[in-house]
Structure 1
Amino acid sequence: MAKVLLFGRLSDLAGWREREIDAASIAALRARLSEEDARLGEALGGPGVQVALDQAIVRGDRPLGPGAEVAFLPPMSGG
């Protein structure tokens, strides 16, 4: 099981901030979230959304080990 965190507008869109979800990889996790909520799935694939695995920003697919923490971060702005 992975601990999944959503921040900002992603959390608002989903209606939750934190859940435990069983998935073998980031790609499988995105697919499961998209199946459950198409709008959230679309938002997660949008430009500027970043993924942090165990508090480190990652790109592409990665396997998820037991107790992994995956955070989806909306685009940031500011200066």
Structure 2
Amino acid sequence: MNIRVRYFASVREALGAGETLQIDAPATVGDVRDALIARSPEHARVLARDRLLRSALDQVLCAESAAVGDGAEVGFFPPVTGG
């Protein structure tokens, strides 16, 4: 399935505004993060599991256990962002 990934704040500064990802179903937001971590050393550094990041699914805050469907939008951002 195709997922649109968006990045915000410091994650956006490091990885850009976003990208698309193809991932096998079924998948969760955590699976999306893991697939992105495997993409490159920079992805691994910015999205590392030891970094506290918030996630959103279709513009609603969610846990990484949230199920992702085809065409979904997943966002990642640090826990505190400025205006």
TM-score band, normalised by the shorter chain? 0.7 to 0.9
% same residue: 27
Q: 1:69 aligns with which of 47, 54, 73?
A: 73
Q: 2:45 aligns with which of 17, 39, 46?
A: 39
Alpha-carbon shift at residue 12 of structure 1 (Å): 1.4
Question: Could you list the runs of 5+ residues in structure 1 that have no partner in the other structure?
Answer: none
Runs of 4+ in structure 1 off by over 4 angstroms are none
- TM-score, normalising length from structure 2? 0.75
Work out the number of aligned pairs and report it: 75
> RMSD in angstroms over aligned alpha carbons?
1.9
- TM-score, normalising length from structure 1? 0.79
Cα pair distance change 1:75/1:32, threshold 3 Å: same
- Work out whether residues 9 and 81 of structure 2, in 8 Å CA contact, stay in contact via their aligned partners in 1: no
